[in-house]
Amino acid sequence: MTTINGTDIDIQGRPHWPQIVLTGFMGAGKSTLGALLARHLGVPFYDSDSLIEAATGRRIADLFAHEGEARFRDLEHQAIASVASQPCTVLALGGGSLMHPGTRLLLCSTYMIYLEITAETARARIANPSDRPLARSAQLDELLALREPIYRSTASLILEAHDELPTVTLARVLAELPASFDQS
């Protein structure tokens, strides 16, 4: 039993509780928030980048460099597909995951949370650009402008996540869940 906003919810006993998916630009805090949210809800957490690295035995930057973005997106789609049908989980996506039409279709019935940040916030949060292939090869402003309409169009919930602690964002997400899911 999990208590969210003062309401007791039996998450594990809910076969129809959807998968919660975190999306947004690089540096938005998807992996950090996803781990916190899953731990709070008592459900499994998956990170698409970690799934890809585990499946291939290679780092994301290496895959981009040697396989190219198109091949990487196909590998990413396969990794996401391996967990997409599991209810009662939290999944953090890579910043470009939704650029793959098949991945968007695969995740259309999930509860998608878009963590909105600015390009300036992303720049400040990206500690090591060499770990983020597209941070080196593209202007962040242009890349964000390209992706933002897709983030918005697929989102069940949009949260600004610019300058707050992950625990504050977690509290904001938890405040939205009871109104968003069947409580029966």
Report DSSP letters for 98-117, one per residue: GGSHHHHHHTTTSEEEEEE-
C-alpha to C-alpha distance for 93 and 95, rounded to whole angstroms: 6
163 assigned binding-site residue:
no
Flag whether 147 is marked binding: yes
Tell me if 28 is assigned to a ligand binding site. yes
| CATH T-level topology, domain 18-175 | Rossmann fold (3.40.50)
Look at strands 45-47 and 157-160 and give their pairing: unpaired
Q: How far apart are CA 89 and CA 126, in angstroms?
A: 26
Q: Is 59 annotated as a binding residue?
A: no
Q: How many CB atoms lie within 10 A of CB 5?
A: 12
Annotation-wise, does 49 bind a ligand? Answer: yes
Top mean-pLDDT range of 4-18, 31-45, 130-144: 31-45
> Residue 11's pLDDT band (boundaries 50, 70, 90)?
low
Q: What is the pLDDT of residues 149-172, one digit of tens each?
A: 999 999 999 999 877 888 999 999
Judge whether 137 is annotated as a binding position.
no
Query: Does the annotation place 27 within a ligand binding site?
Result: yes
Dig out the tokens for 85 from the structure. 């049908």
Across the range 115-130, mean pLDDT stands at: 76
Tell me the pLDDT tens digit for each residue of 75-102.
999 999 999 888 889 999 999 999 999 9
Q: Is the pLDDT at 127 greater than 80, yes or no?
A: no
Q: Which pTM was predicted?
A: 0.84
Average pLDDT, the chain: 83
Per-residue model confidence (pLDDT) at position 119: 84
Q: How far apart are the first and last CA of the chain?
A: 14
